[in-house]
Amino acid sequence: MTIRFFAYGLAAGFAAISATAQQASAPAPWSSASGPWRVDGLAFVKGGTFKDPQAPNFFGKNVTISDFYIGRCEVSQREWQQVMGANPSQFKGDMLPVENVSWYDCIEYCNRRSLKEGRQPYYTVDKSRPDPNYHVDPSFGTDFDADKWRVTTHPAADGYRLPTEAEWEYAASGGRVSKGFLYSGSDQIDAVAWFYQNSGDSPLPAKWHRRILEGNHDRSHPVATKHPNELGLYDMSGNVREWCWDWYGNLDAVAGKHDPMGSVGGSFHVWKGGCWMASAFSCAISFRGEDNPANYRSNDQGLRVCRSR
């Protein structure tokens, strides 16, 4: 969708948070001696309240998050193919993050992976009736989602799921051990993220331009090749954008909530983290992406899974 490229191109207006403006040193690589304990490639995230003022969507609003597990890495193409039997990605490589996956694709992946591992699926999907919570965005006036699957959740299930926006932002900002970084793991974007300026053949200037990006052969990179954040999580800034569960909506109502799950309905689902073709500002922890319907696929769109237990 053209609005996404417009958003990426606003980098000049956000120069204050560009790579050259960051002065803090990059964090040391995560190690098992200092990081959280892990299960099945997931990191345990101890719940609590937001400590990072760089996560202003939830910081200072008395929002609390329960304990959960989240993938240390974005779902790789090898992981996706083992579950789904095919690889939809444009950029091929076992350890590259899977991309070209819609929100609906991710829901199905979570359920199939749960069943494969003997877990209770977290989602029920009804494709026979349109989702009553979906509505056409009046600013576009166009129905972008022809599918409108009705997806409901089972909070007591132990299966895989997409993180909520609040869980994603809590984990990206370091949870209880947050150091208050602008990006996930550092104030220096090059240390933790593959983004527009560093994901191609040569370093690029801050001003985003699609023709320059394509000529520079910008692309995704293998997971976990940049430094992790405080919780040992990789690529939460950059590489591929990550779908969240939530409908995009106003966050005013989250104050005082425990485990908020976003708006009741909407037109688009939230994505977070920026990507290999994104300007620096959209890789910031606080940035909220919302311009893609649930059936949208792109070579910069992937996922990270989580579990409640």
43-75, pLDDT tens digit by residue? Answer: 999 999 999 888 889 999 999 999 999 999 999
Average pLDDT over residues 250-276: 93
For residue range 138-176, what is the model confidence (pLDDT) as tens digits?
Answer: 888 889 899 999 999 999 999 999 999 999 999 999 999
Q: CB burial class (10 A; 0-12, 13-18, 19+) of residue 257?
A: middle
The Cα 98–Cα 88 span in angstroms is 7
CA atoms within 13 A on the CB side of 282: 33
Please tell me the predicted confidence (pLDDT) of residue 206.
84
CA atoms within 13 A on the CB side of 292: 27
Indicate the average pLDDT of the chain.
88
Give the start-to-end residue ranges of the domains of the chain: 1-14+38-309
Please tell me the predicted confidence (pLDDT) of residue 14.
34
Question: Could you tell me the pLDDT band of residue 89, with boundaries at 50, 70 and 90?
Answer: very high
Average pLDDT over residues 202-211: 89
For residue range 12-32, what is the model confidence (pLDDT) as tens digits?
Answer: 333 333 333 333 333 333 333
> In Å, what is the CA distance from 80 to each residue of 74, 153, 194?
10, 22, 21
Q: Residue 113 carries which side chain, given as an amino acid letter?
A: R
Please tell me the predicted confidence (pLDDT) of residue 290.
87
Bigger pLDDT: 266 vs 39? 266
pTM to 2 decimals? Answer: 0.88
Q: Out of 3.80.10.10, 3.90.1580.10, 3.30.70.1230, 3.10.20.30, which CATH number does the structure's domain 1-14+38-309 have?
A: 3.90.1580.10
